[in-house]
Structure 1
């Protein structure tokens, strides 16, 4: 499960993680839960239907399939699986009853989504699991605990029967070592605080927490001493002018002043982010940083981020890291 405050890039991280886990021949399913078709946009593919469709081939021939969960279709699957009522369910959909049911009982939507994820995780063919990993682009941190815990509440309400059995099965997977909730943050005050709040809520709910992924982090481009000096505003265009002149670059004092301003801005941003790194470290979870990449996010950027995640997986092992 990959969650994060809106705007932190959790969908991008989920997609890159799926590519990393599929490397060297893996089979991975990437699941979208919020109906935004963000995965299709990232992989430059048509809108995803309610079926598992290949969207990428990873390094080494691994395959990433993607699924955008349609709540109505998930409910029809549920009715067919447990009650053999798919035909009746389609009639209900034509009447608008399914829309009505999910509107008056918002928790039903989350029950259906987590149930579909559990089915994909546990599905077997010829005695083997169909997928080596299932990566879920989950709801934001503000509602991730409710999203994952609503099926447990359903289990308490239903004392017996198929609903009880299904709910218990879903929660068994969500609370097992098979599952980890990874949190994506930026080195900014609000995302870091939301990440801390979400970790506390997940721990209280008994749900397994994985890594904290710091996304879009500025990379250090100057020595520490130079960064410290620039962050105080001591660096000026006059300091850079001799070097620019020696390099015979046009622009003179105007260019030197503009460059100095950019260096000061970078140094101050780095200092602010560096202070928040201590807060992220204090969360007590394995942490990985992904860089801020120039330009719009495309397939090339996704594979670059996946490569960083692969390196982290190789150097850190399989415990407490994105997996």
Structure 2
């Protein structure tokens, strides 16, 4: 039987992925109210949840590292869905400290609040905790893959995953974890690869591409990610980890050339730049556990069409 919820606290609910989850719940699940707590850093945008019914969504501007704030917010909520994170690899290389603060300490503070007030906890993580695969490796990451994070960002997320597991085993916290592949879709921050490339072309600039451009990522539409998280929250087994992916692997070069074609530019209209330190080569997700046990499947299956649509819809 599906677990029912009345009041859900969503951290980072004004960000790209978090706001997609908030919109999904509000638009598809009757009798559930959502409280969003968001620090409103540069990557968050309250417009992402604008227009949702005020009796269903409440925004609280605050920091998840603030224990006093959590003591005010968490009581009365039967679940916490933890999206809030510093997530840009390049930024983590320049300054790791915010990633340690938000991703590790923030998760710790939330876990303690969930334990104190007996809230169900779901932790959003990334496939980057597994490190990378060789381009000629036919395998994929599974829930049993070892952690081999490469960057300060992925290391901080790996640490937060381990905290969740420790709170499950030591304190009996009712928690689950999901590790998702790269997301794309509307409302994504302009620092990310697809919207950044589109914006560069709109401004008449050559979009940048690291290294040889052959780094491969698994891609999923943000709305499919939101549906998967809801499935895990309502049907997942406490203590378990679920990988979320759409079997949609593409190299950065393939994606950029598709964007250039959709926007009427030559496929060579690229600014090739020096590769970033520790750049992972390939990610691939095996989401068969999620599909098999919870019956989830992606519905946005035409990646090329979705990217073409974003080229038309992304504002300057």
Report TM bin, short chain: 0.3 to 0.5
Provide the TM-score with structure 1 as the length reference: 0.35
Provide the TM-score with structure 2 as the length reference: 0.35
Which of the pair has the greater relative contact order for Cα pairs under 8 Å at 6+ separation? 1
Greater percentage in helix: 1
